[in-house]
Amino acid sequence: MGYHGEIPVTFDGGVFRPDAPLALPNGARGVVSVWPVAPNAESRRRAWEVIDRIRREKLIRLGGGPIKRDELYDRG
């Protein structure tokens, strides 16, 4: 194996992607240990974009009483 040590990765779409190219052949196998790190400015920006979209599109109902059957099933 051409690499041994810590590799900074980003979890994206269910896959760990290395933050920089690695000198490994296709199909190389290894073991990954996950240690959270402080988010950088880009990941914070993306997170706020998701939160803003949730608010804008009202994807989550905050507060209020229980959801009524007609609200639960969109019949429009």
User: Of all residues in the chain, what percent carry a pLDDT higher than 90?
Assistant: 0
State the DSSP string of 29-73.
------------HHHHHHHHHHHHHHHHTT-S--SSSPPPHHHHS
Do residues 1 and 25 make contact, with C-beta atoms less than 8 angstroms apart?
Answer: no
1 occurs within a structural domain = no
Our count of domains for the chain comes to: 1
pLDDT for position 1: 45
The two tokens of residue 50 are 């998701």
Query: CB atoms < 10 A from the CB of 32, how many?
Result: 7
The pLDDT tens digits of the residues spanning 28-59 come to 888 888 887 777 888 888 888 888 888 888 77
pLDDT for position 58: 79
Q: How far is CA 59 from CA 22, 30, 47, 54, 71, in A?
A: 39, 39, 15, 5, 12
3 occurs within a structural domain = no
4 occurs within a structural domain = no
pLDDT of 19 over the 80 cut: yes
Average pLDDT for 2-31: 83
pLDDT for position 55: 82
21 occurs within a structural domain = yes
